[in-house]
Amino acid sequence: MRNLTILAATLLGLLAAPLGHAMAEPIKNVVIVHGALADGSGWRKVFDLLSAKGFHVTVVQPPMTALKDDVAATKRVLDLQDGRSVLVGHSYGGMIVTEAGNAENVAGLVYVAAFQPDAGETLLDLAARTPAATKSIAATEDGYLYLDPKAFEEDFAADIPADEARFMAHSQVFPAKAAFETRITTPAWKNKKSWALIATDDRAIHPDLMREMAKRAGSEPVEVKASHAVFMSQPAAVAALIEKAAATLSD
């Protein structure tokens, strides 16, 4: 009788294992939040690569008027997703996803050449801790920031075609300085798994700062030789990390 009981339990275990695996819902939603001084159009190559793999990709276009407005814009898009999402942030977008990532349907976070703040920190706090190479950020009279177009290619997009960098320099999205001075309240990375892509030739965020933030957050790091515009110059590497995150979170 005891042998029959053990056999029955073993068979039930074998049957249950594949059933449970089959019932696991794979993550197919990717929500991307672009950073300051650029817009979502630069993510087209990453969008296409992930879409070809069957992902449903949405790129948020935050207003850049205030951190709370940018978080609200991201949550608005997250609310439209069917199922769980991988939330991706670039540069200042890292500040946004750190707050917006607390949404229940966010499975995990991917930081791409991004800030990863802790509670009480601002972007300016982090940038001052380990200053980046660029010295060309300026402010308008009404409190918005921009990168001097003459320095844009070198400091933001040194590894993409010059004509594309020139266009980006003259089509910047100006973020409100107030957004960079707003403190984070609840970092989502404290409760959710995260990954961090560190662009080793980045002149907009110091690579050492990215390494420090990733280590503190317990993010899985990947280093890629690229400028701050890594999403354009190395789209395959960026897409691969997002795909890896989705696969890991689906297990």
CATH of the domain at 32: 3.40.50.1820
- For residue 3, the model assigns a pLDDT of 52
Predicted local confidence at residue 19, as pLDDT? 41
* Residues of the domain holding 210: 25-250
Whether 108 is in a domain gets the answer yes
> pLDDT (tens digit, 9 = 90+) per residue, 73-84?
999 999 999 999
| Domain assignment of residue 3, yes or no | no
Cα dist. 28→50, 106, 227 in Å? 9, 12, 28
pLDDT band at 251 (very low <50, low <70, confident <90, very high): confident
pLDDT per position as a tens digit, 219-228? 999 999 999 9
Q: pLDDT of 38-74, one tens digit each?
A: 999 999 999 999 999 999 999 999 999 999 999 999 9
Higher local confidence (pLDDT), 226 or 13: 226
Residue 66 lies in a domain: yes
- The total domain count for the chain is 1
Residue 184 lies in a domain: yes
Domain assignment of residue 1, yes or no: no
User: Tokens representing 155?
Assistant: 């400091």
In a domain, 121, yes or no: yes
**4 assigned to some structural domain:** no
pLDDT > 50? residue 10: no
| Residue 106 maps to a domain | yes
Q: How much is the average pLDDT of 170-181?
A: 97
